[in-house]
Structure 1
């Protein structure tokens, strides 16, 4: 993982009782409630953080996947980055970059989103040209390093029961980093008023995301672009009402880390339903970690 400067105070440690309960019941929401202990959601606000993001993108998209040519600088960036909101997840224990995603915005009416280069013939009423340019964005350059994607549970010999629980929970939380990046993108886009979002992903991934409550709508035909991908649209304001309870709980925790206040309407009954209903997390493909490439 790529080293980052100190970013924030680590989340409060879960109690032994909560950890034991999580390990005993093995419910996805009991695991995800500890996600903020291991990871921290952030926005890039300075050049040091942005360079670390570009290094991670180069590592994955240029060196690992060969989607882009290797650059002498070791940094992967393009013409859309200056008008993008860069989000990332920091691994608190190592203070390392654990994943990143950007939201490409349109500062001017003439600014195009990357997706418009590949679905210019789309006649859908949901295409970017039908919305105010101040309210559109595109989720892209989602990247999670191999050290996070391929993390396996390896228990340390002679570790205390509490440390063994921590190791198990951390490994399970690693598998949710990519989905957490989508949730962060949703939170930030709504906070910034970028309600109409687009993404180029594999149809299979769109189906996986739908299972956890992120309902992308396909607005064009699939094309061969580093694999079979299709353009999708999502009204980001709907996500909080469609997410499955376990991921809605994670959504709320990530909002707290980002300092984003969620609407209070129905919060009490909503959180009550989250606590009562235990939903098994949908299996997430490794491809999620690099799917929103465009």
Structure 2
């Protein structure tokens, strides 16, 4: 049995509004990164969302969105990382339409009690979280949410002709991605932005060079069909 489906969501999809409700739940209610009054209606959304590819981890039994990320594409608004962080890496020789920013990567709190998923929100602890024993067997069978979302990221980047990734992330997430063979290069200093975050930038094939799994999806050697429920 597979617990999750991973795929792109578009405004025509009935689950599309759940992306922004999940982001509100994680960023405002669970992690209190922003003020509720700045996000009326219980959604977290901004000007970059109309210029982004939205990805989701969907819990099959409900169904509902329990994880998400977006690929912010080039637009007149630029990239949020360039507005909120100091970029010291030289990106001037890369066409803007070949760059995207990976952002808003988050997992619903009741599905992010494992150390790997907590790292998404800046938890750098090395201890394991205590879980309800009733969930242990389910955890063993669950697909890795972060891995599934990153497969979508690799696939959509290929589809859109993207060659370089931006991402701003906490140390914990950087460690988590390195364990999967995803190696970003630092692109600026660490700052306090929703917790300590650092910007990263680089060519996708170099970032994924140590991960055959993701590199093969990005280069098209293998597919990640969205109509399948398993990793």
* TM-score interval (norm. to shorter): 0.7 to 0.9
Instruction: Output one character per residue of 1:149-183: Cα deviation in whole Å (capped at 9) or x when no partner.
Output: 13746459xxxxxxxxxx72x41354721233233
Does the 8 Å contact 1:134/1:194 carry over to 2?
Answer: yes
Alignment of 1:132-211 (within 5 A): 132-150=95-113, 152=131, 154-155=133-134, 168=137, 170-172=138-140, 174=142, 176-211=144-179
Question: Deviation of residue 99 (structure 1)?
Answer: 0.5
Q: Secondary structure at the match of 1:189?
A: helix
Query: How does the TM-score come out when normalised to structure 1?
Result: 0.62
What is aligned with 1:87?
55
Q: Which runs of 5+ in 2 are unaligned?
A: 115-130
Q: Does 1:114 align with 2:77?
A: no
The 1:235/1:45 distance shift into structure 2, 3 A limit, reads: same
Q: Secondary structure, in 3 states, of the residue corresponding to 2:224? A: helix
C-alpha deviation, 1:189, in angstroms: 1.1
Q: Which residue of 1 aligns with 2:27?
A: 61
Number of residue equivalences: 207
Stretches of structure 1 that go unaligned for 5 or more consecutive residues are 1-12, 14-36, 157-166, 260-294
Match of 2:64 in 1: 96
- 1:207–1:143: structure 2 CA closer, same or farther, 3 Å change rule? closer
What is the CA distance between 1:240 and its match in structure 2? 5.3
C-alpha distance in 2, partners of 1:210/1:234?
Answer: 14
SS of the aligned residue for 1:185 comes to helix
- What SS does the aligned partner of 1:100 have? strand
Distance 2:87 2:217 in 1: 37
Could you say what the CA RMSD is over the residues aligned between the two structures, in angstroms? 3.0
Aligned to 1:24: none
TM-score scaled by length of structure 2:
0.77
Residue 238 of structure 1: CA displacement? 4.2
CA distance in 2, matches of 1:250, 1:92: 23
CA distance in 2, matches of 1:103, 1:239: 16
Residue aligned with 2:202, SS: strand
- Per the TM alignment, residue 235 of structure 1 is displaced from its structure 2 partner at its CA by 2.2
Residue 201 of structure 2 corresponds to residue 236 of structure 1: no
- The alpha-carbon distance between structure 1 residues 210 and 82, as it changes in their structure 2 partners (threshold 3 A), is same
Instruction: State the partner residue of 1:49.
Output: 15
Residue in structure 2 matched with residue 263 of structure 1 by the alignment: none
